[in-house]
Amino acid sequence: METTDVLPPPLLELLSNSLVLYQICPYVPISGLLNLAATSKLFHNFIFGTPNIFRYLDLSTTKGGDVDFAPIDPGGEIWRSERMDEAVTEEDFFAGPLRGIFSTLRRRGVLQDVQTLILDGLSVPAEVVREIICDSPFSIRILSMKGVKNLNERKLKQVLKYACRLGRPEGTPKLRGLYLFGPERCKEGSSPFFLQKTVLPSPQGVTTSVGAQLGTQWNQRSQNALSSVLEPDTDPWYRPSGVLSFAEHVAEWADVLSVCRGIIAFDGVLCRGPRHGSLAIGRDSGGHAEKLVTRGGFMALTSATVVLGPGGCQSCHSAPEGLAIPGEVPTDYLPLLEPPPRHTNSLHYAQKPPCGMSPSGTSPLLARCKACLVDRWCEGCNKFWCEDCYQTSETSTYTQMQKVEASEHGGEPGLRMGIKVHLGLCIEDCLVGEMYSGAGSGGMWG
């Protein structure tokens, strides 16, 4: 029987299928697309004549996009064919490589089509961010700047507050999502967004000693590893993951998150606990989001740094502020999820958790700051009891040393008064386990 060799279709014919083209282009580096356009006039006209080919641009791996030089030598050095002198500021120097790339892309007619821009790990001064957000040549809607260098965060805060001011022109800013707090790169099989061990806020007390916390830390590591294996499609924001690894960083940006609320979304959220006087989610009799109810409070708004998981309170499986369910709550209640979407610049998809995360199809999120979790959250197993179901004792305002002294004089208050959390650990499981593991002459505390 005669066999005939069937040649595959030409590349241009294959790319002419818009479905194939738009699925492939976000995974091809900009250098690959430009090299393909340079092969022939036919490819050149196709690449630059088809809309949305350059919608997603990742410059994080681009050579020449970073600065590895020493600080500026005010005289005599030649860099990018320009003599450097005292008139060149340090910010201009560090912004040079990225501005050079933008200039080339603008000249080739690429920059105005970019809507999702990845600058992770590059040298990105605050002045460049201002140009991206405020200048007309840019139409960036989602910007990723994780792990960037030479960034003046104080100036960046001023830029974002100015862009979101009340008297801003209509339709500005174009930016809708900013990835800023997360780690630059995620290693496969790990969850770098959250701490792999728990750290108690104060070093006083027996259970807060290094030896006493070894078991708790290893339990937390095992729990995180097991969660990653059993729930590979579950984003860490939507499971009881514990403390954010970038908690200290995001905590400094609460004022910016508050000003930009509803305008620019971040990969971090504000705490909505009742102690902040923030907005709570009202529910009707069917359990659907009804309206927003203002609750009184006495603490200033701050960033959420502890993720409690979709289960909510251990008793009522909810929270006074309500669980944040995508599609039912405002966008500023939800964080941007990793990675940034490649095939769309929609904020809805940037915040949408993976499919199939729960049998009901809903994916509740609950995150708070540590101040709203004092004596309500176990740092060992991430259990949480809300204000409606559990009233903390008068010792909740004590320091850790005062709590230890109270327990020494009157017995273990958690066992005697029904307290659920003592010294940062739940009485029922973690604290009792630590006590038993350390008992005896050869034990941790023996």
Q: In this structure, what token pair is assigned to residue 357?
A: 């995360």
Return left, alpha or beta for 311; rule: phi > 0 is left, psi -120 to 50 is alpha, else beta: alpha
Cis-peptide into 339, omega within 30 deg: yes
Q: CA-to-CA distance for 298 and 292, rounded, in angstroms?
A: 19
Q: Give the neighbor-by-neighbor strand order of the sheet with 242-243.
A: 242-243, 306-307, 367-368
Q: Indicate the DSSP class of residue 149.
A: B
Collapsed DSSP state (helix, strand, coil) of residue 4: coil
Question: What count of other Cβ atoms lies within 10 Å of the Cβ of residue 220?
Answer: 23
CA distances from 82 to 79, 85, 93, 321, 406 (A): 6, 9, 11, 57, 70
The DSSP letter of residue 187 is -
User: Among residues 280, 384, 366, which one has the least CA distance to residue 323?
Assistant: 366
| Residues 334 and 324: beta-carbon distance below 8 Å | yes
The predicted pLDDT at position 443 comes to 43
Which of 111, 113, 150 lies closest to 131, judged by CA?
111
Report residue 393 CA to chain centroid gap.
34
Mean pLDDT by 10 residues, the chain (446 residues): 61 87 92 91 91 92 68 47 61 87 91 93 92 89 93 94 91 93 59 46 46 52 53 74 83 90 93 74 48 55 89 88 88 92 92 65 83 88 88 58 54 55 82 60 45
Residue type, 69: F
Q: Which residues pair with 243 in a beta bridge?
A: 306
Between CA 184 and CA 186 the distance in angstroms is: 7
Q: Which helix (H) or strand (E) holds 260?
A: none
- In angstroms, the CA 334 to CA 348 distance is 10
Q: How many CA atoms lie within 13 A of 359 on its CB side?
A: 0
Q: Which residues contact 285 (CB under 8 A, 6 or more apart)?
A: none
Specify the pLDDT at position 335.
Answer: 94
Q: How far apart are CA 240 and CA 238, in angstroms?
A: 7
Collapsing DSSP to helix, strand or coil, 265 comes out as strand
pLDDT at res. 354: 76
Angle at 21 between CA 16 and CA 23, to 5 degrees: 155
